[in-house]
Amino acid sequence: MTDLRTHMHGLWLPLVTPFRDGRLDETSLRRLTRHYCTQGIDGFILGATSGEGMTLRDAELERLVAIVRDEMAAGRRSVPIGLGLSGADTSRMKERLDETAHWPIDFYLIASPYYVRPSQRGILAHFEALADHAAWPLALYNIPYRCAVGITNQTLLRLAEHPNIIGLKDCGASREQSIALLRDRPQGFRVLTGEDANYFEALSDGADGGILLSAHLETATFAAVHAELRRGNPDAAEARWQEVAELTRLLFAEPSPAPAKYWLWRSGLIDSPEVRLPMVEVSSELAATLDREIERRSEKSAYEEPLVALRPDSHMATPIMQT
């Protein structure tokens, strides 16, 4: 992208990574890519938290990027790709930037150094070193409940002035901090929420969009929330939001992305709900709850395109989606 800032808005999907029998499920990955490119998303994030990136080997991560780019090239629509990278060693992270510099991506999404609990000066120096070194632009990822240390607005505003830092995935868990950042940020610095349950609230406060695991389901509705707000229709946007708000709680009832993978498997978009340890598949109790919600939503939308098949290997008859 010549100016990625102009594209970094709207609905971004942190794509799950499908596995089968311990390996990357390339067939399901191609199916997912084709499907979501028709659903109104504005970009993909690959290999981040929702994509179980910390369990992927380097070769798997490279193959993941190549397949998604290949499927988009073969289709009728292409969107930007952000690559999730994280680490606590600045020197090793610079090596990772070198190793991925030739990959067909558009930017990196990089979280704060985890576990080591650096000071704000350390966080600033870390990201400046990476931004100076990277061949692709950087988007920051502020998620203190995973990294143990949050990025303050003072640090974020200094980093926002760096020409190779284009935006932020905001999971800071403080609406007050987010509103202040949106007020004070320099022009062109994009802020997308990563808190699924706060999507409508964040957009109403002025965020540019969202990076939402929940948008794997009813994607067009999540996209419509943003579109209606941009058109100046807050009541219509809130009505669309109420259609999917419950999904943002249900899909995080157990550690993500297991609930979303279960739902995608039951819907026929992936061939297995498999996750990699230390993640485990959903409990039988949550599976039953998800089944009931899938059935309810299927019945509600039964007037739409006919369902053409049923998954035979599930305990409840569930539509298999054609792609």
| Residue 320 · residue 268 · CB < 8 Å | yes
- Per the omega criterion (within 30 degrees of 0), is the bond before 104 cis? no
**Which run of H or of E encompasses 209?**
strand 209-211
Q: Find the catalytic residue in 108, 169, 199, 262.
A: 169
Q: How many CB atoms lie within 10 A of CB 256?
A: 20
Q: Where are the alpha helices (DSSP H) in the chain?
A: 26-36, 58-74, 90-99, 120-133, 144-147, 153-160, 175-184, 199-205, 219-230, 234-250, 258-266, 284-300
Provide the terminal-to-terminal Cα distance of the chain, rounded to the nearest Å.
28
Q: How many residues does the chain have?
A: 323
Is-catalytic flag, 114? Answer: no
Six-digit token string for 137: 């632009």
| Residue 166 · residue 138 · CB < 8 Å | yes
| 143 annotated to bind ligand | no
d(CA 224, CA 239): 10
Is-catalytic flag, 169? Answer: yes
Tell me how far the alpha carbon of residue 71 is from its chain's centroid.
18
d(CA 4, CA 283): 40
**Which run of H or of E encompasses 168?**
strand 165-170
DSSP state of 113: P
**Which run of H or of E encompasses 109?**
strand 107-111
| 41 annotated to bind ligand | no
Q: How many CB atoms lie within 10 A of CB 121?
A: 9
Q: Find the catalytic residue in 108, 114, 115, 141.
A: 141
List the binding residues.
Answer: 50, 211
The residues carrying an active-site annotation are 141, 169
Q: Point out the annotated binding site for pyruvate.
A: 50, 211
